[in-house]
Amino acid sequence: MKQFILDLMWTGDGDIFLYLRVANRNEVHSARFGTLMADFHKQ
């Protein structure tokens, strides 16, 4: 069975998605969080 991780960010009220990224299931999410925030901020 294939598995994956979705990284999602949305508005405060939860109505609009602002960022979506599909990641490998082997990725350590806690180690990637700072990079995700930097990538989002650049956009």
pLDDT digits (tens, 9 = 90+) for 1-43: 778 888 888 888 878 888 888 877 776 666 677 787 888 788 7
Query: CB of 25 within 8 A of CB of 3?
Result: yes
Instruction: Provide φ and ψ at 26, rounded to 5°.
Output: -85, -5
- What pLDDT score was predicted for residue 32? 74
Q: Name 1's Cβ contacts closer than 8 Å, sequence gap at least 6.
A: none
- Which amino acid is it at 34? G
In eight-state DSSP terms, residue 40 is H
- What pLDDT score was predicted for residue 6? 82
Count helices and strands (H / E) in the chain.
Answer: 1, 2
Total of domains in the chain = 1
- What pLDDT score was predicted for residue 30? 67
10 lies in which domain range?
A: 4-42
The Cα–Cα gap between 26 and 34 comes to 17
- What pLDDT score was predicted for residue 29? 63
